[in-house]
């Protein structure tokens, strides 16, 4: 077990760090399926061993002195993006929100669909955006 969180075995922390090095990503951005693969176990077994949530694993990684990294929560990123648009003098009206799945990747620019696949994104929200005058 790790010294800081008895819910997270040290070998799971080691697997997370190894997967992050292999994928050249922050630990927080490594999908749990990749960490499980590195540990030689199933994703469900990994989730069980880390106490049911990703937060405990990221905290255990932090306790080793490694910043798990990762992105801000989606809500904060959306607010930041909106603030940038407003400060640039651009405003949009967002209408027709709809949930899209992997079938919609073909509608996206190639770099975006590739990044979504790499990040493990399966569903996303799409809106119609109309510039305000």
- Poorest-confidence range of 2-11, 86-95, 119-128? 2-11
Residues 17, 4: Cα–Cα separation, whole Å = 16
| pLDDT tens digits for range 65-119 | 888 887 666 667 777 777 777 777 777 777 887 887 777 777 777 777 777 777 7
Long-range contacts of 34-41 (CB under 8 A, 24+ apart): 39/11, 39/12, 39/15
Domain boundaries, the chain: 10-63, 74-131
Mean pLDDT of 33-46: 94
**Better-predicted residue by pLDDT, 115 or 59:** 59
Instruction: Decide if pLDDT at 1 tops 70.
Output: no
């Amino acid at each position: 077990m790790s010294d800081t969180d008895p819910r997270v075995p040290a070998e799971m922390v080691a697997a997370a760090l190894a997967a992050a090095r292999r994928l050249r990503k922050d630990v927080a951005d490594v999908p749990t399926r990749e960490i499980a693969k590195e540990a030689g176990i199933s994703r469900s077994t990994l989730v069980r061993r880390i106490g049911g949530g990703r937060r405990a694993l990221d905290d255990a990684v932090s306790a080793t002195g490694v910043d798990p990294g990762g992105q801000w929560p989606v809500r904060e990123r959306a607010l930041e993006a909106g603030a940038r648009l407003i400060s640039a003098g651009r405003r949009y009206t967002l209408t027709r929100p709809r949930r899209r799945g992997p079938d919609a990747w073909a509608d996206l620019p190639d770099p975006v669909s590739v990044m979504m696949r790499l990040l493990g994104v399966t569903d996303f929200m799409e809106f119609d955006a109309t510039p305000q005058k």
